[in-house]
């Protein structure tokens, strides 16, 4: 279930209420998000679309605890994150959020294995346990045979799959994807989106994704359209796209 009217009830995994985000540039106030409401249940795959500057990435940053709203609240799995200290928020991100970035953002001096292992270094898992988790994550993304490769030795699609493995290795509550296919060719993009869909359908992950690409948005259960800081409409993506745009 995905709702934008603020009546999602307490059963939602993610609850956003009256969310405002305002930036000050020069003497001018820019209202990026205004009174935004959102409810997302567990296992949902939501795509956010909209023109540049509409607030998609800002919303994703707020949901991921990378930024704090000007007003309103965000509650994830019962934890209200908007009033957490920076330190608590960092700990919360480590436990609950898996990030997938457009530019992969792998550490170039670490192997695929070591990159995927990074979030687990913050846990109390033993070395053997960490190894088991990393191998599982890499097998899910189909890169077991590339675990000792450095990012420069991998293709763009493979790098993004390593990023996905890094995002899921600690079994976070939800995944945030910022243009995950933005830097990939169509074939690699299809592979990556297939993988994200598989995470949702087979591993019951909750995924929130920002994209410019309507074909990528088609893979989501729901597409929400952001325009000038407002979630203007919600609908199931196939119909929305066939209607000549996004819902």
- What residues line the site for another protein (CB under 8 A)? 61, 64, 66-67, 86-87, 90-91, 93-95, 99, 101, 103, 105, 107-110, 114, 118-119, 121-122, 127, 166
Read off the tokens for 32: 């990026």
Pick 124 or 187: Cβ nearer another protein: 124
Pick 166 or 205: Cβ nearer another protein: 166
SS3 state of residue 47? strand
| Angle (nearest 5°) at CA 74 between 235 and 194 | 45
Alpha helix (H) residue ranges in the chain: 56-63, 86-96, 112-117, 127-140, 156-168, 186-201, 214-217, 237-242
Minimum CB–partner distance for residue 122 and another protein (Å): 5
Minimum CB–partner distance for residue 246 and another protein (Å): 24
Minimum CB–partner distance for residue 131 and another protein (Å): 12
Minimum CB–partner distance for residue 10 and another protein (Å): 27
Nearest Cα to 138, choosing from 122, 153, 149?
A: 149
Structure letter (DSSP) for residue 168: H
Minimum CB–partner distance for residue 215 and another protein (Å): 25
Pick 39 or 179: Cβ nearer another protein: 179
Read off the tokens for 202: 């087979």
Pick 7 or 85: Cβ nearer another protein: 85
Round to whole Å and give the CA distance between 104 and 126: 27
> Is-contact 115 146, C-beta < 8 A?
no
Minimum CB–partner distance for residue 16 and another protein (Å): 17
In angstroms, the first-to-last Cα distance of the chain is: 15
Pick 23 or 245: Cβ nearer another protein: 23
140 contacts: CB under 8 Å, gap ≥ 6: 165, 168, 195, 198, 199, 203
Alpha-carbon separation of residue 162 from 79, 107, 114, 149 (angstroms): 29, 11, 10, 11
Pick 3 or 205: Cβ nearer another protein: 205
Instruction: Tally DSSP H helices, then E strands, for the chain.
Output: 8, 11
Minimum CB–partner distance for residue 224 and another protein (Å): 21
Pick 134 or 240: Cβ nearer another protein: 134
């Amino acid at each position: 279930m995905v709702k934008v009217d603020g009546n999602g009830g307490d059963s939602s995994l993610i609850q956003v209420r009256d969310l405002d985000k305002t930036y000050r540039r020069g003497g001018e106030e820019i209202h990026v998000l205004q009174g935004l409401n959102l409810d997302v249940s567990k296992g949902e795959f939501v795509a956010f679309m909209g023109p540049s500057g509409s607030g998609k990435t800002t919303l994703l940053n707020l949901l991921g605890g990378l930024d704090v709203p000007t007003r309103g609240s965000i509650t994830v799995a019962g934890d209200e994150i908007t009033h957490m200290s920076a330190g608590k928020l960092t700990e919360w991100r480590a436990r609950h959020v898996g990030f997938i970035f457009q530019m992969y953002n792998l550490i170039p001096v670490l192997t695929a294995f070591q990159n995927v292992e990074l979030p687990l270094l913050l846990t109390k898992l033993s070395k053997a346990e960490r190894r088991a988790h990393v191998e599982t994550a890499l097998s899910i993304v189909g890169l077991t045979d590339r675990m000792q490769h450095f990012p420069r030795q991998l293709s763009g699609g493979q790098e993004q799959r390593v990023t996905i493995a890094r995002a899921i290795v600690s079994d976070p509550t939800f995944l945030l994807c910022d243009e995950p296919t933005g830097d990939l060719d169509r074939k690699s993009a299809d592979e990556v989106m297939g993988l994200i869909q598989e995470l949702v359908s087979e591993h019951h992950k909750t995924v929130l994704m920002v994209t410019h690409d309507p074909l990528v948005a088609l893979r989501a259960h729901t597409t929400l359209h952001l325009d000038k800081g407002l979630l203007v409409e919600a609908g199931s993506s196939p119909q929305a796209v066939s209607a000549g745009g996004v819902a």
